[in-house]
Chain A
Amino acid sequence: MSIATPPKEPQGGGVIDLDVYTPIEEPRTKTTQHKGILRWLTTVDHKMIGVMYLWFAGFSVIFGGALAGLIRTQLAFPNGIGGKPLMTPEYFNQFIGMHATFMMFGFVIPAFAGFGNYVIPIMIGARDMAFPKMNAFAFWILVPSGLLMASSFFFGSIPGGWTSYAPLSTKTYAPNLGVDMWIFAIHLAGVSSILGAINFIVTMSNMRAPGMKWFRMPLFCWATLVTSWLQLIGTPVLAGVVTMLLTDRILDTGFFNPAKGGDPLLYQHLFWFYSHPAVYIMMIPGFGMVSQVIQTFSGRPTFGYKGMVYATAFIGVVGFLVWGHHMFSAGMEPWLRAYFGFMTMLVGVPTGVKIFSWLATLWGGSIRFTTSMMFALGFLGLFTIGGISGVFLANVPFDVQVHDTYFVVAHIHYVMFGGAVMTIFAALYYWFPKMSGRYLSERLGKVIFWLIFTGMNVTFLPMHWLGIAGMARRIYTYRPEFHSLNMIVSSGYLLMLTGGLLLVGNVFYTLLAKRRTAPNDAWGGNEVQNTLEWMTTSPPPAHNFDRVPKIVPMAYESLHH
């Protein structure tokens, strides 16, 4: 492997001049600090808020993972054990719906928000987010949301899957209170998303340190910026559509009721207008984090920085124009099908640009196989598979065959687990030393990676075949010939469970037992990407930097411009 060569084009970060910076023992800031739990309840520090988001995500993923276990147990023994059924079909459907809701709204989005909160203000050289109190509020409002969501279990929660399509979710078919609870939980989570998004956009627009031009921002910042716009415009539409569902349920309005001139199909249109961009909300920050990880551990700046930025923005814009691909079999004009199919495939182009850009970054780099890097590489492979099955699904004739089968479930999990979740694990191993001053075990980390990576494939790869063979999703049972593949799928879950439990154990052990040893530049070699979070202590002081850093251009940057 060759030694890193000087980059040919400007990279995020530029050169940061911090020679006056000295880590300080005692914060010079004069703010009243509370102690104990009150310190957390009153904090407006973006780093502490980021950490709380991550704890929230951690709880959610454990909860959602347990639900997945119940789902897989049922599907391993669809006829029960010893003739005794394990659960009612109704419970099975609730588990499916709640698993998805917790994983998306409780785990992936808060985890991205957590890393974003922690790292982005530091990356752009700011002391905090633009609206620190609103930042705290956006986090805290997630707590009642999560509680409502979890307690909806006692009231039948959502019987129709996470999409809660009308009329499955209208009063006629779902008279239980759980649906209303779910709606309010979505409202509160939506408030959190919108306020968080406003905060990120304003922070990145107005709080950048001197010299931190837009095109010097690290890619993770760009990713979060694009995501924030998606959240800002998309989330209110979701809030609107669930509000319509709510009034249909409690005021007997006619939004989705054909007898009154309404149209249930509109639920799907409005829902996916949000939820397709939402799948990018759940992926783009991961792209950004992986870019940071790959730069660090291949010792080369990202290939084609600007191309990456434009590709991300393009995905964001086109993301709003493709929602119909979830509705090919629900009925729409043929020309619309063609349009949505075409636009969906178009998204594959910038996605491909990003993948090739990561590959080109790796090419000729001196790669360090840390756990974080392994997760990032795992992401590359798995996400590519998910992207390819996505392009399959964008073909209307194919999609009509496999819609609502396990093929779609396989696609979802290759992009969301193989994609988003792998990036979150990569980021956890990457920034853990920065956030806590302690390294997670690298040796155990590799074991965890292989368990999760293998388990993930054992679980989700066979689902492609199951789907093409016709196994329907959201059904508690299946035809007997699918049994052996389903046993394999469920055994994959056990591998992932082992990996997950080890990871939880590792995190607690590290936090409780290890001493703080991480230097500023915890992974070394930050001169390649030059991001600011590695230029302050691990963990950083409350005010991040003693002096506001000033970013000056690299010599070649001025040569080439």
Chain B
Amino acid sequence: MSDVAITTPDAAHAHSHEHAEHIHLPDPSLWPFLVAMSAGIIPVGILLLIAEKSMGGAVLGIGIVFVIISALGWCTSVIREKPTLDSAWANRTLSMGWKLFLVSEGAIFGAFFGHLFYIMYHWHKGAAWPPAGTPPISLIIPAIGTGLLVTSSVTCEMAHKFLLLGRRGACKSMMVLTMALGLIFLTLQALEWGVLGGLNFAPHTNIIGTLFYLITGFHGFHVLTGMMFLFLVYARLEFGSFDRSRHFSMNAASWYWHFVDVIWLLVFFTLYVGIQPAAH
């Protein structure tokens, strides 16, 4: 190997937490195994329900409870071990992982939107649009919802800014405001579902019912998840976690919230606007 450039190895250039003398490897953990096995119980419960077996509900419940317990166990173990990691590096890694996860979430919505666009594009010329059985779906409620969610994205961002400024009180108020806006949004959504359901409009009515309920429902589920996430972050704020440089879960929760907001804009401008009679 004559054409080899030799330099002195310099482990200090490595991630700063790694040195030859002290190697940090993550501790073994049973939590991933437990969460996976509990997650495996959930489909069994649903399958039993589909097969109309009486214990289905119980099995499903057990699965969900097990998943929640073991996931919480996993989270606490992570929070406890985190300080050993180099925080700038850990932040970068976690952010990237989380953003990639959001990409895949977007792709799931992509499948549903793809379905919607295909149906809209391929609708027979001259055939009634929206198809029979679809009641008029007002744009007013979703427009208010849009306003609420956009505002909540702003308040969420402000919460983050306040934390960076060290104003924890203001930060917490903004978090509460964000969650409240989300809650109003969900309430409106539930009201709308109730009204439409009263008009005998259901997922099985026609393809519009299917797409409408599945897309808004899946989105609503994400709003709910986002709120729980925000709440966990809020709770940790109350307990005094996070400082200016170390608040990854706050970032993650707010990205998630913005993501849910962006998806909603798509829902509003394609689904709601698209199924208006005039639009076709």
Contacts and interface: CB of A to CB of B under 8 A. Distances in A.
Interface of A: 6, 15, 17-20, 28-29, 31-34, 38-39, 41-45, 127-128, 130-134, 136-137, 140-141, 143-145, 147-148, 177, 180-181, 184-185, 187-188, 191, 194, 197-199, 201-202, 205-207, 209-210, 232-237, 239-241, 244, 247, 250-255, 257, 260-263, 266, 269-270, 273, 527, 542-543, 546-550, 552-556, 558
Contacts of B93: 130-131, 202, 206-207
Of B31, B78, B105, B111, most A-chain CB atoms within 10 Å = B111
18 contacts: A15-B5, A28-B23, A32-B28, A34-B28, A41-B33, A44-B29, A131-B97, A140-B33, A145-B40, A181-B43, A198-B101, A232-B100, A234-B107, A237-B108, A237-B110, A244-B111, A247-B203, A554-B4
Contact of A250 (B23, B27, B50, B106): B50
A1 B207 CA distance: 67
Nearest to A21: B9
Given A31-B27, A137-B36, A143-B40, A130 B210 contact: no
Given A20-B9, A141-B40, A554 B204 contact: no
Contacts of A38: 30
A543 B25 contact: yes
Nearest to B6: A17
B4 A137 contact: no
Given A236-B107, A261-B131, A134 B204 contact: no
B50 A177 contact: yes
Given A127-B25, A262-B207, A550 B13 contact: yes
A187 B179 CA distance: 30
Contact of A254 (B25, B96, B207): B207
Given A210-B13, A250-B50, A31 B207 contact: no
Nearest to B123: A261
Interface stretch (B112-120, B163-171, B225-233): B112-120
A235 B104 contact: yes
Contact of A205 (B5, B14, B21, B96): B96
A260 B210 contact: yes
Contacts of B30: 38, 41-42
A555 B40 contact: no
Contact of B4 (A44, A236, A548, A555): A555
A44 B9 contact: no
Contacts of B107: 232-237, 240
Contacts of A191: 39
Nearest to A206: B93
B45 to A, nearest CB: 10
Nearest to A136: B32
A496 to B, nearest CB: 33
B7 A552 contact: yes
B232 to A, nearest CB: 18
Nearest to A239: B108
B115 A232 contact: no
A26 to B, nearest CB: 13
A450 B132 CA distance: 64
B58 interface: no
B32 A44 contact: yes
A18 B204 CA distance: 65
B178 to A, nearest CB: 26
Contact of B18 (A45, A127, A177, A254): A127
A137 B206 contact: no
B276 to A, nearest CB: 16
A202 B26 contact: no
Given A244-B115, A254-B209, 15 more contacts: A19-B9, A32-B27, A33-B28, A38-B30, A44-B29, A128-B25, A148-B43, A181-B47, A198-B97, A205-B96, A210-B10, A210-B14, A233-B107, A254-B207, A266-B118
B272 interface: no
B140 interface: no
A244 to B, nearest CB: 7
B25 A180 contact: no
CB-CB nearest 5 A-B residue pairs: A144-B40, A240-B111, A140-B36, A261-B207, A184-B43
Contacts of A235: 104, 107
B268 to A, nearest CB: 20
B104 A233 contact: yes
A309 to B, nearest CB: 21
Given A127-B23, A187-B43, A236-B108, A42 B29 contact: yes
Contacts of B37: 140, 143-144
Contacts of A555: 3-5
A409 to B, nearest CB: 28
B197 to A, nearest CB: 14
A549 B33 CA distance: 32
Interface string B115-157: 1001100100000000100000000000000000000000000
A17 B7 contact: yes
A527 B3 CA distance: 12
B43 A188 contact: yes
A38 B30 CA distance: 8
B11 interface: yes
Contacts of B210: 247, 253-255, 260, 262
A547 B39 CA distance: 39
B279 interface: no
Of B9, B20, B118, B206, most A-chain CB atoms within 10 Å = B9
B109 to A, nearest CB: 8
B39 A188 contact: yes
A287 B6 CA distance: 32
Contact of A550 (B9, B21, B97): B9
Contact of B206 (A237, A254, A542): A254
